[in-house]
Amino acid sequence: MILLPGARPQQQEQKPAEDISPTIQVEVNLVSLLASVRDKHNALISNLTKDDFTLTEDGQTQTIKYFTRETDLPLTIGLLVDVSASQRNLIDIEREAAYQFFSQVLRKKDMAFLISFGEEAELLQDFTGSPRLLQAGLSQLRVNSGVQGVHPGPVPTIGQPRGTVLYDAVYLAATDRMTHEVGRKAMVLITDGMDEGSRLKIDEAIKSAQKADTVIYSIYYVDPRAYYGRGYFGGVSDSALRRMSEETGGRVFRVDRKHTLPEVFKELQDEMRSQYAISYTPTNEKKDGTFRRVDLRTTDHNLKVQVRKGYYASGAEK
């Protein structure tokens, strides 16, 4: 099934209007932030209060209107798995670890969807709260490497090799799946960070996630054997993943011999359950489509806040 815009029947059935927080429904001018706080030893801090934070937008002080440490807002997770040729030897590990992650992290009212991306972005499982259905979707993960020619997928490319359409996949997940969701939204990427053949640029991928209020967490997973002798060995970088994650309030997790994928998923689960949900009404009420820079800090300067860098003030697209 190719990822197509607009088809969200499962989400509509399983997220009835009465389950949605009335605050998010009614107060459309609210800007919502999800923040994680760590100490100098990188340990998560989850016992702060509203008074422990200061907030500015474009340098102007803002008043925090809603604040909670209990992250019981609905959680929507989009898992995007790289199935290009360079990930061939990792897919089985990714499948098993992702299923365990979904089984442990999803709670009542939480939803998830699954997309694979290689030469195309493919929706393997639409919105569901069922680990069983997500497992069935994960079982469909298959290598999908580049070809040339006219492609009928959601982002067609003519005569251009499409090896790993990472940026296109992020854009599609944000605009076609995340935009109309409420509550906490996170996109989890499992990839080596290489993009080959995307029609869209990284800036457009980041902007789409920012407009959808979606945090991007990147799991940097590289199989050196896939690159040895191809001119990439030693040159694969997580710089693009760092940029997408940091701009949206997430971070990059690196998988290596000492830090396995199941351990990374456990860290990600802990972070998602240790967030602060913060909302405010901007003093600048203009909906002019400009990017507003947000700066959230703690009064304790030894603590580091992880939060998105800002948002686009464009009304319903914010």
Q: Is the pLDDT of residue 82 over 50?
A: yes
Higher-confidence residue of 270 and 11: namely: 270
The whole-angstrom separation of Cα 98 and Cα 92 is 10
Q: Which residues are 185's β-sheet partners?
A: 76
Whether residue 311 contacts residue 62, with contact meaning beta carbons closer than 8 Å, is answered with no
Record the tokens describing residue 92, joined without a space.
Answer: 């089985």
Residue 315: Cβ-neighbour burial (10 angstroms; 0-12, 13-18, 19+): exposed
pLDDT of the residue at 11: 44
CB within 8 A of 163, min separation 6: which ones? 84, 85, 118, 119, 145, 146, 194, 196, 197
Q: Specify the CATH superfamily of domain 75-272.
A: von Willebrand factor, type A domain (3.40.50.410)
Confidence of residue 29 (pLDDT cuts 50, 70, 90): confident
pLDDT of residue 8: 47
Range ranked top by mean pLDDT from 58-67, 153-162, 307-316: 58-67
pLDDT at residue number 235: 54
Beta carbons of 206 and 244 less than 8 angstroms apart: yes
pLDDT band at 7 (very low <50, low <70, confident <90, very high): very low
Tokens 């927080």 correspond to what residue? 21
Residue 67 has pLDDT above 80, yes or no: yes
3-state SS, residue 43: coil
pLDDT at 305 over 50: yes
What percent of the chain clears pLDDT 90, i.e. is strictly above it? 72
Contact between 304 and 38 under an 8 Å Cβ cutoff? The reply is: yes
**Alpha helices (H) along the chain:** 9-14, 22-26, 91-105, 131-138, 166-173, 202-211, 239-248, 261-272
Residue pair 74/110 in contact by the 8 Å Cβ criterion = yes
pLDDT confidence tier of residue 162, bands split at 50, 70 and 90:
low
Stated pTM of the model: 0.84
Q: Is the pLDDT of residue 164 over 90?
A: yes
Does residue 288 have a pLDDT over 60?
yes
Q: In the prediction, which pLDDT does 45 show?
A: 96
- Residue 22 has a pLDDT of 37
Instruction: Calculate the average pLDDT of the chain.
Output: 85
- According to CATH, where is 3.40.50.410 located in the chain? 75-272
